[in-house]
Amino acid sequence: MSHVLITGANRGLGLEFARQYGQDNWSVIAVCRTNQENEELKALADEYDITIEVVDLGDFNAIDQLAAKYRNQPIDILINNAAVFGPKAKADGDLRQNFGTMDYDLWSDLLRVNMMAPFKLIEAFIDNIATSDEKKIAAVSATPGSITETDPGLNAYRTTKAGLNMAMATLATELKPQGISIAIFCPGWVKTRMGTDAAPLTSDVSINGMRTLISELDIESTGQFRRFNGETIPW
């Protein structure tokens, strides 16, 4: 049986990742921050081979403890999906990500969860990945992390995704000799709590697209930044 670890699995994109992999008879380790708002994930766990693990990804000791629990378990795919967006100035008038009114504690928190935690997870689970059959890592980034396609505002969030892209691109080169491949994705604008109901995409379409790209991922395509539909995104 193939094994996948998914972070941020209790809602949105992560929940759909868990659903689709579960339906395809994968063994899923579904990581989420709290036991709250987990009803849909718990329902999936009753139906499929899904194990729920509650871990605050901002707590790196907790990540180490999770890795110790699964020390001898190969993980074919590690999906770094969990992220925090922070306040949206246009949506709620909260300017804490804006130049001139930046909340630096908020920025630090976003960097820790969005950029540092994915790197830490790979460090903690590298042996699990290296001993698996597929040896794959996927990171859910976003087009706002592209320096070429940048827009004003959301300074904190944008830098965390740009940093994630650089961290994953660096690791793609570093881990290539071990046969480990890394994909970096923008899922598109999806109807989730983060994306809002105004988004044009549904989560099943986005996740199906990313899963197709993950299945096609090999060592020659490692480190690429692409949309869910396969389009290459400029750095």
Question: DSSP of 58-113, one letter per residue?
Answer: T-HHHHHHHHHHTTT---SEEEE--------HHHH---TTSTTS--HHHHHHHHII
Q: Domain ranges for the chain, please list them.
A: 3-227
φ, ψ for residue 87, nearest 5 deg: -70, 145
Tracing tokens 């109901």 back to the chain, one arrives at: 197
Q: Note the pLDDT of residue 106.
A: 97
Tokens standing for residue 160: 């965390």
Question: DSSP of 106-158, one letter per residue?
Answer: HHHHHHIIIIIHHHHHHHHHHHHHHTSSS-EEEEE--GGG-STT--SS-HHHH
Q: Note the pLDDT of residue 127.
A: 98
The CATH number assigned to the domain with range 3-227 reads 3.40.50.720
Q: Note the pLDDT of residue 10.
A: 96
Cα torsion angle, 88, 205, 113, 158, sign: negative
φ, ψ for residue 195, nearest 5 deg: -80, -20
Q: Note the pLDDT of residue 189.
A: 79
Which portions of the chain are predicted below pLDDT 50?
none
Q: Note the pLDDT of residue 191.
A: 64
**b/e 161-193 (16+ beta carbons within 10 angstroms → b):** bbbbbebbbebbeebeeeebbbbbbbbbbbbbe
* Element (DSSP H or E) covering residue 162: helix 155-175
Q: Note the pLDDT of residue 107.
A: 98
Q: What is the largest CA-CA distance in the chain?
A: 52
CA distances from 135 to 12, 76, 83, 139, 175 (A): 25, 5, 23, 14, 10
Q: Note the pLDDT of residue 197.
A: 65
φ, ψ for residue 184, nearest 5 deg: -120, 125
Residue 38 contacts residue 55 (beta carbons within 8 Å): no
Q: Note the pLDDT of residue 200.
A: 62
Q: Note the pLDDT of residue 85.
A: 92
